[in-house]
């Protein structure tokens, strides 16, 4: 299995790299600063940016599956997903004529990407999260996630968008709830470990192809 990973040096991305290597997969990672990545000697490194078409193309060519853990690194308007996701989609679509096209794309998203995400929450919590969190505190990261959803939905790739609430850096519980319609009731957090495990499970599954899926403790 050849796996291409974007956002490999981030907290969730590193977990994905570790899991792929444990399974014996060949990993290609696009890195802006390879010298800072502790697993650089165990992967095929493409030195560049997810905003550069040539670097993105070199990363996805030959991949059986593409994983993305890209996202905002602050609460400011960064436009990371607005700029990077179209590049990844285009590069993958451009492989369609090759002997080994890259069509499977699994991305880390956010529970705030869709207006229906809070439909299963109590009314008081729905108001607080929508107005104080999504519309104010996390305004720009949510805007980026909405953009990612729209770009994926308009593509012809076999994509899956995994949409958790707040991510923690603690140990995984290995037990969590998933829902294809909205965030599970009172779901407010989940560990990156559990999200990484779930993303890995999607590599061999078609259940959530061309769909978003919510995941929470």
Per the listing, tokens 């919590």 go with 125
Q: What is the Cα–Cα distance from 22 to 2, expressed in whole angstroms?
A: 13
Ordered by start, the domain boundaries in the chain are 2-216
Radius of gyration of the chain (CA): 17
Domain 2-216 sits in CATH at: 3.40.50.720
Q: What is the pLDDT of residue 75?
A: 87
Within 10 A of 11 (CB to CB), how many other CB atoms are there?
12
First to last CA, the chain: 30
Q: What is the pLDDT of residue 117?
A: 96
Q: What is the pLDDT of residue 2?
A: 98
Q: What is the pLDDT of residue 73?
A: 84
Q: What is the DSSP letter of 112?
A: G
Alpha carbon distances (Å) from 214 to 33, 43, 108, 162, 187: 32, 30, 11, 6, 10
3-state secondary structure of 205: coil
Q: What is the pLDDT of residue 48?
A: 97
Q: Cβ-count burial of 152 within 10 angstroms (0-12 exposed, 13-18 middle, 19+ buried)?
A: buried
Q: What is the pLDDT of residue 34?
A: 97
Q: Which residues of the chain have pLDDT under 70?
A: none
Q: Residue 22 — φ and ψ, nearest 5°?
A: -60, -35
Q: What is the pLDDT of residue 152?
A: 98
In this structure, are residues 158 and 138 in contact, taking their beta carbons and an 8 Å threshold? no
Strands 44-47 and 166-168: unpaired
Q: What is the pLDDT of residue 72?
A: 87
Q: What is the pLDDT of residue 101?
A: 95
């Amino acid at each position: 299995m050849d796996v291409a990973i974007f956002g490999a040096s981030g907290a969730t991305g590193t977990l994905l790299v570790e899991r792929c290597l444990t399974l014996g997969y060949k990993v290609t990672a696009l890195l802006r600063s390879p010298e800072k990545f502790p697993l650089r000697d165990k992967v095929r490194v493409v030195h560049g940016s997810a905003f550069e078409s040539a670097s993105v193309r070199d990363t996805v060519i030959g991949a059986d599956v593409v994983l993305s853990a890209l996202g905002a690194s602050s609460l400011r308007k960064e436009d990371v997903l607005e700029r990077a996701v179209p590049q990844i989609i285009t590069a993958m679509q451009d492989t369609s004529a090759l002997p080994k096209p890259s069509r499977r794309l699994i991305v880390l998203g956010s529970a705030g990407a869709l207006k229906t995400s809070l439909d299963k929450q109590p009314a008081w919590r729905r108001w607080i999260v929508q107005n104080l969190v999504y519309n104010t505190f996390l305004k720009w990261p949510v805007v980026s996630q909405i953009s990612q959803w729209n770009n994926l939905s308009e593509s012809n790739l076999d994509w899956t968008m995994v949409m958790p609430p707040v991510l923690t850096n603690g140990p995984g519980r290995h037990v969590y709830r998933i829902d294809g319609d909205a965030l599970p009731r009172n779901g407010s957090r989940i560990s990156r470990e559990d999200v990484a495990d779930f993303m890995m499970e999607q590599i061999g599954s078609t259940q959530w192809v061309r769909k978003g899926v919510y995941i929470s403790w």
